[in-house]
């Protein structure tokens, strides 16, 4: 059986999957997988039902599951692997990297890749003088170049993360309201103070672009919230090393403010599922693959044991050990049908408000109104 599959076009999203598929022999193993790739932004804009109609396997981000469930295009993992196997995987996956795919009582993807926003520093520019909290980040920005990631959805995700550090993860205490005026305006104030000083070259960049800028120049010494990419922790010749740390807290001992990313592998409802395919999926989530094969092929594993592994950390500049606590505490975004469109609109509104100096209270009111308009009261996050 030959399967058509889609992932994202970064070494972290493609190389390990392609290498694993290259080891398969259809005559011997009973399956072959052809992995195709598209830009990460394509998943934000492309309807999940169209992708599921054209591909058997899809690598996706957890906020898409509400749309996928509403359109009935994916198979639940409990039906494929069994409830006990999914529960066992939950205990072995770091942070909410598996539970984030649970919606309407079922899990709709397996956590292939784990990531969250963390702090990225140029240790050669800062030494050990890196801040642990948001007050320290703001103080550092007065003397060193500090940049937020604001492109695409990341302005909104940064706001969600800072609100989480301030003690109010969005839409958690009250799923029908995004954030209180008090917390929202405080979070926006932090962003505005940093935005006013951040290098112009960093303003249009997504996380990959921002980390690339840090690795190739001295334009940015610290990014307090940027999705971690392990390859920058062990750079190629000629590039500067980026050291990753836990995300900032609001108060000493507080929760790191960060919004979960990562990707999961989902199975389309139209796929012809065979025992050989299920065995391959189990292997991708196994300790062997997660601790050895995936890190060796530029991947970023989801299994907790891999994040604690001495050999993995030695190879990748302690990226995993330095940021595991942040991932364990990561905030999980709403996943209801329509959330992705809201996130896109919210991020554009935040960027515009920061550039125009719009009163924070007005921006938060607009975000709350738009969030409420897209929600079914009492519905799933």
Q: What's the half-sphere exposure (Cβ side, CA atoms, 13 Å) at 221?
A: 18
pLDDT value for 378: 67
pTM of the entire structure?
Answer: 0.95
d(CA 217, CA 214): 6
- pLDDT tens by residue, 177-202: 999 999 999 999 999 999 999 999 99
Asked if pLDDT for residue 381 goes beyond 90, the answer is no
d(CA 235, CA 250): 31
Asked if pLDDT for residue 379 goes beyond 80, the answer is no
Q: What is the mean pLDDT of the chain?
A: 95
Asked if pLDDT for residue 45 goes beyond 80, the answer is no
Asked if pLDDT for residue 138 goes beyond 70, the answer is yes
Q: Over pLDDT 90: what percentage of the chain?
A: 90
pLDDT value for 46: 78
**Residue-range domains of the chain with CATH:** 2-113+263-299 (3.40.190.10), 117-259+333-373 (3.40.190.10)
Sorting pLDDT into bands at 50, 70 and 90, what band is 296? very high
Asked whether the beta carbons of 59 and 7 are under 8 A apart, the reply is: yes
Lowest mean pLDDT among 36-45, 46-55, 161-170: 36-45
- pLDDT tens by residue, 46-101: 789 999 999 999 999 999 999 999 999 999 999 999 999 999 999 999 999 999 99
Burial class (CB in 10 A: 0-12, 13-18, 19+), 105: exposed
Burial class (CB in 10 A: 0-12, 13-18, 19+), 272: exposed
pLDDT value for 285: 96
H or E element at residue 227: strand 222-227
- pLDDT tens by residue, 330-341: 999 999 999 999
Sorting pLDDT into bands at 50, 70 and 90, what band is 147? very high
Asked if pLDDT for residue 220 goes beyond 70, the answer is yes
21-27 contacts at long range (C-beta below 8 A, 24 or more positions apart): 24/280, 26/1, 26/2
- pLDDT tens by residue, 314-324: 999 999 999 99
pLDDT value for 376: 73
User: Which string of DSSP letters, residue by residue, matches 99-148?
Assistant: GGGEETTEE-SEEEE--BEEEEE-HHHHTT---SBHHHHHHHTTTS-B--
Q: Over pLDDT 70: what percentage of the chain?
A: 99
């Amino acid at each position: 059986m030959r399967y058509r599959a889609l992932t994202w076009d970064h070494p972290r999203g493609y190389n390990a999957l392609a290498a694993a598929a290259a080891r398969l022999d259809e005559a011997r193993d009973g399956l072959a997988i052809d992995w195709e790739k598209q830009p990460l932004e394509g998943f934000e804009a492309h309807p999940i039902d169209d992708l599921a109609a054209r591909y058997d396997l899809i690598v996706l981000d957890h906020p898409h599951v509400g749309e996928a469930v509403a359109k009935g295009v994916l198979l639940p993992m409990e039906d494929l692997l069994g409830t006990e196997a999914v529960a066992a995987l939950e205990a072995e996956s770091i942070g909410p990297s598996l539970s984030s795919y649970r919606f309407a009582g079922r899990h709709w993807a397996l956590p292939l890749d784990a990531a969250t926003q963390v702090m990225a520093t140029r240790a050669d520019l800062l030494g050990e003088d890196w801040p642990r909290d948001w007050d320290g980040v703001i103080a550092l920005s007065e003397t060193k170049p500090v940049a937020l990631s604001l492109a695409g959805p990341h302005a909104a995700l940064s706001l969600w993360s800072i609100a989480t550090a301030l003690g109010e993860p969005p839409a958690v205490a009250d799923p029908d309201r995004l954030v209180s005026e008090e917390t929202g305006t405080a979070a926006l104030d932090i962003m505005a103070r940093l935005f006013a000083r951040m290098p112009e070259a960093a303003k249009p960049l997504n996380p990959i672009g921002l980390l690339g800028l840090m690795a190739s120049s001295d334009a940015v010494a610290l990014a307090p919230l940027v999705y971690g990419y392990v390859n920058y922790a062990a750079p190629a010749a000629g590039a500067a090393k980026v050291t990753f740390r836990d995300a900032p807290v609001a108060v000493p001992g507080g929760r790191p403010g960060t919004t979960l990313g990562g990707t999961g592998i989902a199975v389309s409802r139209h796929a012809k599922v065979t025992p050989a395919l299920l065995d391959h999926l189990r292997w991708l989530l196994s300790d062997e693959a997660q601790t050895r094969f995936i890190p060796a092929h530029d991947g970023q594993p989801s299994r907790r044991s891999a994040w604690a592994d001495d050999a993995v950390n030695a190879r990748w500049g302690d990226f995993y050990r330095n940021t595991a606590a942040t991932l364990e505490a990561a905030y999980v975004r709403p996943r209801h049908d329509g959330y992705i469109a809201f996130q896109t609109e919210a991020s554009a509104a935040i960027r515009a408000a920061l550039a125009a100096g719009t009163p924070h209270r007005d921006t938060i009111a607009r975000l709350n109104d738009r969030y409420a308009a897209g929600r079914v009261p009492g519905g799933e996050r």
